[in-house]
Structure formats: C-alpha cells, structure tokens
Amino acid sequence: MWIIVAEAVVYLFTAYAVAGVVFAVPFALRGAAALDPAAAGSGWGFRLIITPGVVALWPLLLWRWRQGGSAPEERNAHRTAAR
C-alpha cells in the first residue's frame, strides 16, 4: 500500500518537474520580459539563473503571464501618501 502511494508521489513530482521544464523554455524566451520590463534586455546568463525558480513556480508564472500582468508595484506608506 505505502509503496503505491510513494510511487504515485514520485510520478506526480516528476510530471510537475517535466511540465516546469517544458514551460521554462518559452518563459525564458518571451515570458520574463512580458512580466518584468527590466528583464527585456537580459542575456542568457540571467535566463539560466531564473530557470530553477521558473521550473518550481511554473503554475504561478503561467497564471500571471496569461493574465497579462506586469511587474508588481511596490506598496508602502510613501507611495500611499503620495497619491
């Protein structure tokens, strides 16, 4: 019984990681620049550095990319008072 559960967990983790790797390729090429304008001029070194995080967080990044979100605006007391 426990072996079946353990195998299922391993298969789910593997599927999640494979989906993350597949998602990381187009995200590194176009998605990072779409979400953060500062990443638009970045080179391959930056794209390689963000790849592990993209693989781990691919559902969140996919959701933000499909929503057309841009870089989040910082919210603090100074910005609130300036409005």
Within a domain: residue 7?
Answer: no
Confidence of residue 10 (pLDDT cuts 50, 70, 90): very high
Within a domain: residue 59?
Answer: yes
Name the average pLDDT for the chain.
90
Within a domain: residue 33?
Answer: yes
Within a domain: residue 60?
Answer: yes
**pLDDT per position as a tens digit, 43-78:** 899 999 999 999 999 999 999 999 886 666 778 888
Q: CA-CA distance, 50 to 73, in Å (whole number)?
A: 20
What domain range is 39 assigned to?
21-70
Tally of structural domains, the chain: 1
Confidence of residue 9 (pLDDT cuts 50, 70, 90): very high
- Is 27's pLDDT higher than 80? yes
Within a domain: residue 9?
Answer: no
- C-alpha to C-alpha distances, 57 to 66, 68, 75, 77, nearest whole angstrom: 14, 17, 23, 29
